[in-house]
Structure 1
């Protein structure tokens, strides 16, 4: 638990300072960047970022306002909402990914 807390705090601090995003935003960007067609159902994204449904909805709304993603109707299920990575979101992910990996490597080495 201590290792998790140290890693999470380090990631939060570095991602916020260098890229203006937090861990949850990075995890959402990563999930979308790695998904088929850079999109997924909003519910699937909620599961990835480990937030409650209401907190994930607020995260998605905030990221949409920042231009990192867009919402669209799911063609297969009209009740479903798709979350789609934008070019700006892809760019922010690519900029933040080396920071994320570097902080993980450093903090896991230090706490191991």
Structure 2
């Protein structure tokens, strides 16, 4: 049985990579659209609320949140600032370490998350396995 050449393996990896990127883009765009239309919240903001809700604690360190969420530190800071401006999260400083910033859900943030969660999960369910389909169907 002949072994796969390096070039063939590379071409296969590039194909898989592009398929992953296409899938990510399709799911992300569908989520962004549904969350904006249904709840006036972006995907980054929802993901931040979702991670905070999953953490199930009063406050989470921004550095820990940044590790859990796939956003740059500056993108996460902007998302948290937008959520804070809408009254969905609160930021606070750590009493022991002035460099540490905590973020926590407000009651309004919990409510928005609760209302948007079914939309998020339904879109994930309907788009996750779609391959090669367009959005007209």
TM-score (structure 1 length as normaliser): 0.90
Q: Name structure 1 gaps, 5 residues minimum.
A: none
> For residue 9 of structure 2, what is the aligned residue in structure 1?
none
Per the alignment, in what secondary structure is the counterpart of residue 102 of structure 2?
strand
> For residue 54 of structure 2, what is the aligned residue in structure 1?
34
Q: In angstroms, what is the RMSD of aligned CA positions? A: 1.6
1:62 aligns with 2:82: yes
The structural deviation recorded for 1:50 is 1.7
Q: Larger % of helix: which?
A: 1
Once the two structures are superposed, residues 56-77 of structure 1 have per-residue CA deviations (whole angstroms, 9 ceiling, x without a partner) of 1111111100101001122453
Q: Which moved more, 1:10-19 or 1:53-62?
A: 53-62
The structural deviation recorded for 1:12 is 0.5
Q: Name structure 2 gaps, 5 residues minimum.
A: 1-20, 133-137
Mapped contact 1:28–1:48 kept (Cα < 8 A): no
1:43 aligns with 2:63: yes
Once the two structures are superposed, residues 9-49 of structure 1 have per-residue CA deviations (whole angstroms, 9 ceiling, x without a partner) of 10000001000111111110011111142421112222333
> For residue 90 of structure 1, what is the aligned residue in structure 2?
110
Mapped contact 1:27–1:48 kept (Cα < 8 A): no
Which structure would you say has the larger Rg?
Answer: 2
Per the alignment, in what secondary structure is the counterpart of residue 91 of structure 2?
strand
TM-score (structure 2 length as normaliser): 0.75
1:107 aligns with 2:127: yes
Q: 1:44 to 1:26 in 2, by over 3 A?
A: same
| In structure 2, C-alpha distance between the alignment counterparts of 1:19 and 1:66, rounded to whole Å | 13
RCO higher in structure (CA 8 A, sep ≥6): 1
